[in-house]
């Protein structure tokens, strides 16, 4: 190789490095986002105390693996949203509905267990659907946002100002969503056919879209959206006599229900695509939590877990789940009342906490899969979820 060619190659290599540097800088993706706040919307997958505040506390042994007492979560410990907040070095989110002891400086949680996207026509006691559907969570967020602006524009009220975000935090915050599963199960549990529920999916994702657009119009820019999980693999669904007619797939799951979840997810993903086109300044990340949860359940042993279809805290039957008495409730056995408590030996290797919700160990595992972006449709890691990469 003559000298000139060698020099040219060196120059070329140098130029490539320069270009790469420039690319990374222009892209901005090098810098973590430093979200000052997280605002979360959802169901029990991310409820940190909402339903408990409105309808009575989750009972022991909920919370015992981490908080040593019930902490408004339907779990033995922390949820994915807790690990998300923790990863930004933010405190765990206070439930918006929690009147005492809450501190909203770094965000608020509007999620409640049993929440749906669409308002339901049945009450909590009839069907288990929370009255705090996504549209109500959005009213609450609007009110919260408006009050913060009012307080911040007035003199005085210093005490309250130490409990709320700054006005500009609303545009720099991360908005997280994990909701939709209960819309599907609500229909199925009301004996609608899978096809009937499927037909309602466009309306469900349409209402979801409306909320995202409005938050964007209020200044929200970074959105982190979880799709819905394989609820056909959850004990509370499989154990319902009608849901299977005895038919389960090779994993023990109700395949057609998982197909319905996937159908919802495809529509949700499409909606996210439309939102990206409509909302130019938004960074919207769609996270395939379905695949993570499905892998956890169907390859549990491989990932260090066991008995993925058995509730850890429950009572009776193949799934250790009783649809009439949940974890922390009381059940009569041979005339004696006993507490439905933890019956698995080790919740750190259990997937299902109470037949409906995942254990803290499962939630941590799920979080570990989503944090680096491998399951985001833009491959964007959580800490970079304010950067546009598509």
Beta strands 38-42 and 174-178: pairing type? parallel
Of residues 43 and 64, the one with the C-beta less far from ligand NAG: 43
Distances (CA, A) of 47 to 40, 77, 115, 141, 315: 9, 12, 9, 15, 24
d(CA 284, CA 178): 14
Active site residues: 44, 354, 357
Considering the rule CB under 6 A, would residue 153 count as an interface residue with ligand NAG? no
d(CA 350, CA 311): 8
Considering the rule CB under 6 A, would residue 193 count as an interface residue with ligand NAG? no
- Minimum distance of ligand NAG from residue 132's CB (angstroms): 14
Of residues 118 and 383, the one with the C-beta less far from ligand NAG: 118
Considering the rule CB under 6 A, would residue 65 count as an interface residue with ligand NAG? no
- Minimum distance of ligand NAG from residue 208's CB (angstroms): 13
Considering the rule CB under 6 A, would residue 121 count as an interface residue with ligand NAG? yes
d(CA 167, CA 175): 15
Residues 6+ apart with CB under 8 A from 110: 39, 40, 41, 42, 50, 96, 132, 137, 138, 140, 141
Considering the rule CB under 6 A, would residue 103 count as an interface residue with ligand NAG? yes
Residues 6+ apart with CB under 8 A from 187: 196, 197, 200
Dihedral sign, CA of 217, 218, 222, 224? Answer: negative
Of residues 120 and 265, the one with the C-beta less far from ligand NAG: 120
Q: Half-sphere exposure of 222 toward its Cβ, with a 13 Å CA cutoff?
A: 24
Q: Which of 29, 105, 167, 171 binds ligand NAG (CB under 6 A)?
A: 105
Considering the rule CB under 6 A, would residue 191 count as an interface residue with ligand NAG? yes
- Which region, judged by CB under 6 A, interacts with ligand NAG, from 93-101, 113-121, 273-281, 380-388? 113-121
Of residues 121 and 142, the one with the C-beta less far from ligand NAG: 121
Size of the site for ligand NAG (CB under 6 A): 10
Residues 301-320 within binding reach of ligand NAG (CB under 6 A): none
- Minimum distance of ligand NAG from residue 82's CB (angstroms): 15
β-bridge mates for residue 286, sequence order: 225
Considering the rule CB under 6 A, would residue 342 count as an interface residue with ligand NAG? no
Q: Which of 162, 277, 280, 324 binds ligand NAG (CB under 6 A)?
A: 162
d(CA 264, CA 22): 40
Which residue ranges make up the site for ligand NAG (CB under 6 A)?
Answer: 91, 103, 105, 118, 120-121, 162-163, 190-191
């Amino acid at each position: 190789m003559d000298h000139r060619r060698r020099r040219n190659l060196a120059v070329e290599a140098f130029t490539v490095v320069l270009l790469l540097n420039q690319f990374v800088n222009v892209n901005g993706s090098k810098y973590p986002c430093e979200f000052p706040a997280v605002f979360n919307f959802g169901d029990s997958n991310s409820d940190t105390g909402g339903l408990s505040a409105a309808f009575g506390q989750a009972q022991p042994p909920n919370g015992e693996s981490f908080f040593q007492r019930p902490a408004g979560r339907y779990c033995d410990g922390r949820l994915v949203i807790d690990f998300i907040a923790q990863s930004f070095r933010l405190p765990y989110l206070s439930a918006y509905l929690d009147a005492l002891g809450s501190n909203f400086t770094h965000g608020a949680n509007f999620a409640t267990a049993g929440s749906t996207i669409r308002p339901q026509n049945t009450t909590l006691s009839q069907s288990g659907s929370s009255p705090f559907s996504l549209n109500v969570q959005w009213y609450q967020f609007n009110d919260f946002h408006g009050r913060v602006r009012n307080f911040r524009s007035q003199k005085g009220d210093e005490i309250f100002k130490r409990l709320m975000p700054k006005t500009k935090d609303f545009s720099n915050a991360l908005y997280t969503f994990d909701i939709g599963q209960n819309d599907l199960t609500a229909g199925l549990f009301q004996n609608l056919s899978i096809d009937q529920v499927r037909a309602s999916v466009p309306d469900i994702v349409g209402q979801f879209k409306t909320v995202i657009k409005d938050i964007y119009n209020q200044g929200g820019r970074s959105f982190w959206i979880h799709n819905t999980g394989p609820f056909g693999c959850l004990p509370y669904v499989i154990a319902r006599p009608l849901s299977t007619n005895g038919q389960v797939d090779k994993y023990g799951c109700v395949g057609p229900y998982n197909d319905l979840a996937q159908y919802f997810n495809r529509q949700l993903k499409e909606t996210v695509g439309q939102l990206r086109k409509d909302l130019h300044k938004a960074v919207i990340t769609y996270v395939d939590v379905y695949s993570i949860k499905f892998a956890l359940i169907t390859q549990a042993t491989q990932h260090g877990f066991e008995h993925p279809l058995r509730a850890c805290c429950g009572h009776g039957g193949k799934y250790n789940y009783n649809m009439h008495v949940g974890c922390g409730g009381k059940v009569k056995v041979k005339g004696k009342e006993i507490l439905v408590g933890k019956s698995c030996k080790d919740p750190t290797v259990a997937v299902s906490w109470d037949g409906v919700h995942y254990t803290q160990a499962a939630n941590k595992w799920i979080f570990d899969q989503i944090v680096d972006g491998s399951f985001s449709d833009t491959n964007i890691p959580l800490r970079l979820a304010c950067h546009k990469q598509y």
